[in-house]
Chains A and B, each alone.
Chain A
């Protein structure tokens, strides 16, 4: 019963924050609410015993991405442009949400040992983490050793994304002088073309 109350209140809080963030037009408040959303989501993950995910959610969602959004806020107006709710996207979103809610009833119970996901490679990982890898934290042994290829791919995704950001808005080696030179060159080529 207590578990149900905790889960229900956390999810209600999540929904409340999401609705508030949708309704507000002051972007600063929206950024702060998104940080709060991540923090509540992290609490929900702790309740679900997914400590590593909660850790990531708290550090990335509530921490760094809030700061990044704040840094972006210095470049954009403080208020969102007013807009009305368009019916077709609202209908599609509601329909998808309802379908997902119906699909959830088909999922196995939370933590059910007979669930397919717990009977494929999971037992091998749980035994192997202790005996083959010797790492008590199963998440780390799966992430870094069993699924090392995936983690390598993820690191490469982060790497590629960073390079893309640097290429688009980087200009990180440009001094005031350099940027002027670059601009002049552009102008020259435009004039030539």
Chain B
């Protein structure tokens, strides 16, 4: 789709808007519909749109493969450590009341962190899934190529 000017221009306008909307859904989830899961999916869809319109290679530039595990594990760790924070401060696991002096402020902080962890994990997982499935074709082609190469090398060795 790289050749279609309309799609490229519209995608360029849409991608930042989609990301901004994802952040809104993420941090406004306390007050309106939404939360970490939805925000993560919307945030990931910005990267997917980028990769679909401008090609997988350019998509890889803005989301290198090393981000996958950082995002997936980072989100779970943020969630877990927010829970452990409650334990360290003398309450149960995932009790947010003690995270701040005021219980309600503590709840707000805990929910914000926990939702951010969910969002990070989900966003990274979705982008990773897309790149893994979409990159599979190239991967298979590469394997076929390397197979052919191996066969050529092997036949040369036999001749020698």
Contact = CB atoms under 8 A, between A and B. Distances in A.
Nearest to A162: B125
A1 B94 CA distance: 46
Interface of B: 25, 29-35, 37-38, 41-42, 44-45, 48, 52, 65, 68, 72-73, 75-76, 79-80, 83, 93-94, 96, 103-104, 107-108, 110-111, 114-115, 117-118, 121-122, 124-126, 128-137, 139-140, 142-143, 145-147, 149-150
Contact of A140 (B29, B137, B150): B29
B150 A183 contact: yes
A183 B145 CA distance: 12
A188 B35 CA distance: 50
B68 A172 contact: yes
Nearest to A50: B33
Nearest to B138: A176
Contact of B110 (A54, A136, A145): A145
A159 B76 contact: yes
A152 B80 CA distance: 8
Interface string A131-150: 01111110111011100110
B110 A139 contact: no
A152 B79 CA distance: 7
Contacts, number: 162
Contact of A51 (B33, B107, B131): B33
Given A144-B114, A155-B75, A149 B94 contact: yes
15 contacts: A55-B34, A59-B42, A60-B41, A67-B52, A74-B137, A135-B111, A137-B30, A140-B29, A144-B115, A152-B94, A155-B121, A159-B76, A162-B129, A169-B133, A183-B150
Contacts of A165: 128-129, 132
Interface of A: 51-52, 54-56, 59-60, 63-64, 67-68, 71-72, 74-75, 132-137, 139-141, 143-145, 148-149, 151-152, 154-156, 158-159, 161-163, 165-166, 169-174, 176, 179-180, 183-184, 187
A134 B137 contact: no
Chain A CB within 10 Å — which of B103, B108, B129 has the most? Answer: B129
Contact of B83 (A52, A56, A135, A152): A152
Given A55-B34, A152-B80, A172-B131, A64 B117 contact: no
B150 A184 contact: yes
